[in-house]
Amino acid sequence: MVALCMLPANYILKAFELVCFVPSDLDGNENCKCHDTPHPPLLLGTEGKLEGLHAYFEKKWLHNRYGVNFWNYHQAGGPRTMNHADAWRLLKSKFDGMSIDLGVWLTNFQAIHHHESEHTRQLVEGIAEPYGPRLAYLQNDARILAASTDIAAFLHDWTLRGVNRSVAMRWRHDVLFIERVDPFLCSMGYLIGCKNMGGPLRHRSQPKDFDE
């Protein structure tokens, strides 16, 4: 469900209905259809918890007053996470708290102020280059964009082929939707949540070319 935001907005409800369902007989099952690496048997109560999550997502994210366009991120640029705020949270930890020693506070402040002032001077004089995104992140964004473009083209054709279909043909039409959208969502779920880009393969949903 976390990757639904990467689909074109008008296909999110369809994907939620056909792809994001909770399989039966999950409790105690080590061969579930979760696309994850092999794992021990799932704990009793897992199915109920997932059904609760499914109901929560449907109520709070799909059928809220803002609509799916509010959180849709299909082919949108810019950061998709709050990782860029990590630096601020790290700085905040150095100054928070009523019990911090004044000398420690001043030492932290002076060190940070000197570092930022020196870096600013180097930027102005052309000595240093502005910080840029890591190559791994740029490659990851390129994969996301390529996959998003491909799925958008497929869904456009899929919609055109679904006009005036019989009931039996509509069922087959939905199967085609699942066969393409399910792998896309699994791949997007990995790509937008990946923290160790360029590391060894740890998840079946990781794209085959991810480490190349």
Range of the domain at 116: 87-124
Number of domains in the chain: 2
Please state, in angstroms and rounded to a whole number, the distance separating the CA atoms of residues 46 and 25: 10
Q: Which residue has the tokens 């393409």?
A: 180
Does 119 lie in the same domain as 170? no
Q: Could you read off the pLDDT tens digit of each residue along the chain, which spans 212 residues?
A: 888 999 999 999 999 999 887 777 665 555 665 555 555 666 777 778 888 888 998 998 899 888 899 889 888 766 666 555 556 566 666 666 556 677 777 787 788 778 888 888 888 888 888 777 778 888 888 888 999 999 999 999 999 887 666 777 888 888 899 999 999 998 888 888 755 444 443 444 444 544 43
Cα 12 from Cα 30, distance rounded (Å): 29
Give domain status of residue 39, yes or no.
Answer: yes
- Please tell me whether residues 162 and 68 are part of one structural domain: yes
Q: Are 202 and 186 in contact (CB under 8 A)?
A: no
Task: Give backbone dihedrals phi and psi of 53, rounded to 5 degrees, phi first.
Answer: -65, -40
pTM beyond 0.75: the answer is: no
